[in-house]
Amino acid sequence: MLIISPKQLLLPSLLLLSVASLCQSPQEAAPKTQTPEEYLHSLSGQKLLMLHFGDADHSKVKKSDLHKVKISCDLAVQIQAVRYKDQEVTFDWVQIGTPQAEKNFPRNCRDRVSHDRGTLTITQLAPDETAASLAESVSKVLQTPEQYLATKGVPFNLPPKTDGQKLVSGTLIPPRALLMIDGAFSQQALRSKYAGAVTISFTVGTDGLAHQPKITRPLGMGLDEQALAVLPLWRFQPGSKDGKPVAASLNVEMEFSLY
């Protein structure tokens, strides 16, 4: 039995209304040399998009039924722990937000309910499950931003940013947000019914990620930290000048609204 202890989690909160993102290493297909336990261990602490099951705090689905699930209640989550035993794997997750995208992806949660935390279990795995086959199954319900966009028919396959990209001057086409995350309120702010806006400045690199984010107008009550915590899942079409992608600076106001 594999039990992965949770890493330090930031349980985000905010209603994101503009554009932002922070660099995060994408989840990749498990290499052939990796064991299933090693692959699952690599998911602990990751921020991913959980498809379908955001309106249930405890979900179970057979491996053979993963392709049949039609519920569209997706969440942004952080994996808190993973348990692998008796041909099933269970993920403990906490919600960090809800995804939006440039294209209008329908989101229909049963009874309009979503949960702050819960478990997702994939059952009836093969006795001789490999890391690669396990990764293929998991990716049907837990995805990186790149995988999520691909599932929705939005290609995102930009080369990594090289160090030392410089901002350009003059007229350019600004970056465009392809995937956005609306975060959940922090418990402290929610209990105090505290709302407002956080302003963040950052650079969108030619890799479509945000770099060097800085809070330029703080809000407090833990909301600044929550804003930074949810940014890794955002993805952009980079800015361009003369038909070539360039690094571009952006200022974003993220509104925390109670209604």
Calculate what percentage of the chain has a pLDDT beyond 70. Answer: 82
201 vs 72, more confident: 201
Q: What is the pLDDT of residues 57-106, one digit of tens each?
A: 999 999 999 988 876 788 999 999 999 999 999 999 999 888 887 666 66
Is pLDDT above 80 for 32?
Answer: no
Is pLDDT above 50 for 219?
Answer: yes
Spatial separation of the C-alpha atoms in residues 96 and 227, rounded to whole Å: 10
**Residue pair 72/105 in contact by the 8 Å Cβ criterion:** yes
Is pLDDT above 80 for 169?
Answer: no
Spatial separation of the C-alpha atoms in residues 55 and 115, rounded to whole Å: 6
Q: Hey, which of 18-32, 165-179, 187-201 has the most confident mean pLDDT?
A: 187-201
The rounded mean pLDDT for the chain is 82
3-class SS letters over 75-139: EEEEEEEEEEECCEEEEEEEEEEEEEECCCCCCECHHHCCCCEEEEEEECCCCCCCHHHHHHHHC
Spatial separation of the C-alpha atoms in residues 230 and 232, rounded to whole Å: 6
What is the model's pLDDT at position 54?
Answer: 86
Handedness of CA 240, 20, 76, 48 (dihedral sign): positive
For residue 82, give both structure tokens.
């993973």
Q: What is the pLDDT of residues 101-124, one digit of tens each?
A: 766 666 777 766 667 899 999 999
Q: What is the pLDDT of residues 128-160, one digit of tens each?
A: 999 999 999 999 999 999 999 998 888 898 888
253 vs 6, more confident: 253
Q: What are the phi and psi torsion angles at 194 (to 5°)? A: -100, 130
**Residue pair 99/233 in contact by the 8 Å Cβ criterion:** yes
* pTM for the predicted model, two decimal places: 0.82
What is the model's pLDDT at position 231?
Answer: 87
